């Protein structure tokens, strides 16, 4: 039977509920009826609840393909939405570089998402921070003041008090905090330089950033540290901190990062580069003024182990 086109689900329909299946849905398969009753949920989610026994019809666990007659008692015991666990503490190991009562500096590994979001509602740096320092639950974003992309490694600073968070944000806005990265890029750069180009959302691919007119100001300084065959190791210093800034700026000047799945070359003539599983970007130096004392502080990490191994395999033994 075709689905009726004149049924509007009741406004009060919710994901955890006990209600009667509307007579207007008679003849539909149960999974089709559920999609009409709970349009805020995808069919795959509703089918998962059926498989998990979270949906009952007249007290029994039904077959998704059974047809409904209308009037049956429908009970749904939906799990909490993923957003509900987005800010729960999780015992995720952290590489702590420095910690006092104001600051926490960590060495973020590749693969660790910073903030919970679509597709990553748990297992993030925020969840790890809340376990490491429960007091961060009282600080917006658990004290996070800047971020690194999921597969970028290296130094991040976290504020442990509201006052420290405010101060660190001001330092970042004033461009007085220093952030240096190592990046392995395609192509041989002949000289050092600066990219001063505004960054905003890509005009057609909204999940990407791009250099666009009307974007936010963005400045990246780069210095060549080593030259390889068809590649260069550069040190990038950020003046601004736009989303994907180094990745976008280096691609903009024709030297995308090795291993970058979004802005990089899809194919490389170097099999070592093709096999590298992430964008070759590592935040190795961080400098700032301590929020309480005003003392100048800085931290330096050695080259990320996987990036150092890639360089050695390419004939460059580089140490920070």
Query: Which amino acids are annotated catalytic?
Result: 149
The span from the CA of 318 to the CA of 303, in Å, is 8
Residue given tokens 């979001």 in the structure block: 117
The span from the CA of 160 to the CA of 126, in Å, is 13
Give every CB contact of residue 11 below 8 A, 6+ residues apart in sequence. Answer: none
Q: Which one, of 239, 260, 149, lies nearest residue 195 by Cα? A: 239
Question: Structure tokens of 83?
Answer: 């957003």
State the DSSP H helix or E strand holding residue 57, giving kind and residue range, or none if neither: strand 55-57
Looking only at the bridges linking them, the beta strands covering 281-289 and 153-159 are parallel
- Three-state DSSP state, 152: coil
The span from the CA of 168 to the CA of 176, in Å, is 10
Give every CB contact of residue 38 below 8 A, 6+ residues apart in sequence. Answer: 9, 13, 15, 46, 76
- Kindly tell me the burial class for residue 69, based on how many C-beta atoms sit within 10 Å of its own C-beta (0-12, 13-18, 19 or more): exposed
The span from the CA of 201 to the CA of 95, in Å, is 32
Residue given tokens 């040190």 in the structure block: 235
φ, ψ of residue 169 to 5 degrees: the values are: -60, -40
- Kindly tell me the burial class for residue 97, based on how many C-beta atoms sit within 10 Å of its own C-beta (0-12, 13-18, 19 or more): middle
């Amino acid at each position: 039977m075709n689905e009726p086109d004149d049924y509007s689900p009741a406004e009060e329909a919710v994901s955890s509920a006990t209600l009667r299946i509307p007579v207007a849905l008679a003849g539909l398969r149960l999974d089709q009826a559920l999609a009409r009753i709970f349009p805020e949920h995808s069919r795959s989610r509703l089918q998962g609840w059926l498989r998990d026994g979270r949906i009952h019809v007249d007290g029994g666990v039904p077959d998704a393909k059974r047809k409904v007659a209308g009037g049956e008692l429908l009970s749904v015991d939906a799990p909490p939405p993923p957003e509900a666990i987005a800010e729960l503490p999780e015992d995720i190991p952290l590489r702590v570089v420095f910690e006092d009562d104001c600051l926490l500096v960590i060495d973020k590994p590749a693969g660790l998402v910073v903030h919970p979001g679509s597709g990553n509602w748990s297992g993030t740096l925020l969840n790890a921070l809340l376990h490491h320092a429960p007091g961060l639950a009282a600080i917006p974003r658990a004290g996070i003041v800047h971020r690194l992309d999921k597969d970028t490694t290296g130094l991040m600073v976290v504020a442990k008090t509201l006052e420290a968070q405010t101060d660190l944000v001001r330092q970042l806005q004033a461009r007085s905090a220093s952030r240096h990265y190592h990046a392995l890029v395609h192509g041989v750069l002949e000289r050092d330089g600066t990219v001063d180009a505004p960054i905003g959302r890509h005009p057609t691919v909204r999940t990407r950033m791009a250099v666009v007119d009307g974007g936010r100001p963005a400045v990246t300084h780069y210095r060549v540290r080593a030259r390889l065959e068809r590649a260069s190791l550069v040190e990038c210093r950020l003046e601004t901190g736009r989303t994907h800034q180094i990745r976008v700026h280096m691609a903009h000047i024709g030297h995308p990062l090795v291993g970058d799945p979004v802005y990089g070359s899809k194919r490389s003539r170097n099999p070592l580069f093709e096999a590298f599983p992430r964008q070759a970007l590592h935040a190795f130096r961080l400098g700032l003024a301590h929020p309480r004392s005003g003392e100048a502080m800085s931290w330096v990490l050695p080259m990320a182990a996987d990036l150092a191994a890639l360089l050695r395999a390419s004939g460059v033994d580089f140490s920070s």
